Amino acid sequence: MPRKKRVPTAAALRLRLRVEIEGGIALGPGRADLLEQIAETGSIVEAAHHLEMSYMRAWTLIRDTNAAFREPLVVAERGGRRGGGATLTETGRRVLDLYRALERESLSATRSTWSQLRRLLRSPA
C-alpha cells in the first residue's frame, strides 16, 4: 500500500530510505510507491492517479528510475484494452522487494531503541 499523508495520533518513528547516485536519486519512498502501484494496477495512468501525481510526473520518475539501474524496472506496453499498460520487469520486482526489505530490516533493528526514545517524549501515545 502506498504511504498516505496523515496526521499522526501517536508518536511514530518514520523512516525514509533513499538510494543516491552520482547526479541524483535512484530510488526513494515515492518511487517505491509508484513501482508498487504499477505492479498492482498494471497502468501508469492508474498508478499516478492513486498517488495523486500527474501522469507526466510519474512518467518522468519511471524514465529516471529505469535509467539508474542496469535493466529497466518498468516496461510500458503499447495498445491493448486500456491503450497501453505497464508492468514491472523481473528486475523491477526485485528492486521493489529489496527496498521494502530495507524498510522492514531498519524498523525491526530500531524497535528497542525507539521504545526507549519514545518514553522520553511528552506525549508518547
Binding footprint of a copy of itself on the chain (CB under 8 A): 7-23, 26-27, 67-71, 91, 94-95, 98-99, 101-102, 105-106, 108-110, 113-114, 116-118, 120-123
Helix (H, G, I), strand (E, B) or coil at 2: coil
Q: How far is the CB of 80 from a copy of itself (least distance, A)?
A: 28
Q: How far is the CB of 114 from a copy of itself (least distance, A)?
A: 6
Task: Tell me whether residue 16 or residue 78 sits nearer to a copy of itself (CB atom).
Answer: 16
Task: Tell me whether residue 28 or residue 41 sits nearer to a copy of itself (CB atom).
Answer: 28
Q: What is the dihedral of CA 22, 28, 32, 38, to 10 degrees?
A: -60
In terms of Cβ atoms closer than 10 Å to its own Cβ (0-12, 13-18, 19+), residue 35 is buried
Task: Tell me whether residue 70 or residue 78 sits nearer to a copy of itself (CB atom).
Answer: 70
Q: How far is the CB of 26 from a copy of itself (least distance, A)?
A: 6
Q: Which CB contacts under 8 angstroms, 24+ apart, belong to 69-72?
A: 69/26, 69/95
Q: How far is the CB of 45 from a copy of itself (least distance, A)?
A: 27
Q: Are 35 and 91 in contact (CB under 8 A)?
A: no
